Amino acid sequence: MTEQPARRLLLVHAHPDDESINNGATMARYAAEGARVTLVTCTLGELGEVIPPGLRHLTGAALGEYRRGELTAAMAELGVADFRLLGGAGRYQDSGMMGLPDNDDPACFWQADVDTAAAHLVEVILEVRPQVLVTYDEHGGYGHPDHIQAHRVAMRAVELAADAGWEIPKVYWNRVPRTVGEQAFARLQGDLAALPFGKAGVLDDVPGVVDDERITTEIDGTGYAAAKSAAMAAHATQIEVSGAYFALSNELAQPLFTTEYYELVRGEHGSTRETDLFAGIEVPGIESPGIEGTS
């Protein structure tokens, strides 16, 4: 049996591209530092809106397979070798936006039995034995059914894995501190004229925005900004990147964050803000207090 890296990080996301937008810099940084970074993606995003006109013929399963290729390219940019689809390719399909008839498809992730789906994730947890898991909050960051379900499945899998013999010490939800978002959108207004996007989005477009005091952890990924940007650009059906900004199919510009923020929801942290997802976890041969600044 191959010996595991000392630090092991598991991320659970809904569709290809979510990981690069939310955690690309974090993933690239930990992968470069020798941690095992494992990504589990719950669907292939078969219902995503396609940006490039030349690819708009892709729909359904064909789009999902294409996005699987984009995910592979993005992971190469981030240096992540271990990425999987929950339950295997095609197990769960994209559910579409909340309130659409697609939500009622028995094959979609939104309709999946949570315990059954969580059992697939438990298999990964028991193999990888992560000390840290990252996923969305209970609203999925912005209310998409697949994001909400990814949250439910991930949190249930944490419980089931503990019963099966592996307790994950720390669980985080993706966040953006409100003041950081406000400052970034203010800069965007000044830069908008030079960008290829029609107009700017608003802070409410960004998933997981919370008041600053809820942020427990910030990961400085500025050294991996190019990797994150390249990974996002690899998801070309879904994302258009321009410098420090990007847009989705709505063509509304928003900031590309290279410092990424988290809220610790399971595990212990100190009175000051962490700078390491593994802070407080005893890892042989690695000193990582990861505490600085104020929360």
Binding site for Zn(2+), residues?
15, 18, 147
Binding-site residues from annotation: 15, 18, 147
| C-beta separation of 180 from 134 below 8 A | no
d(CA 110, CA 102): 9
Q: What angle do CA 82, 20, 195 make, to 5 degrees?
A: 155
| C-beta separation of 41 from 15 below 8 A | yes
CA distances, 293 to each of 102, 113, 215, 226 (Å): 45, 42, 12, 26
d(CA 104, CA 106): 6
Q: Which two tokens stand for residue 112?
A: 């999946």
Amino acid identity, residue 214?
R
Tell me which residue of 94, 174, 87 sits closest to 138, measured CA to CA: 174
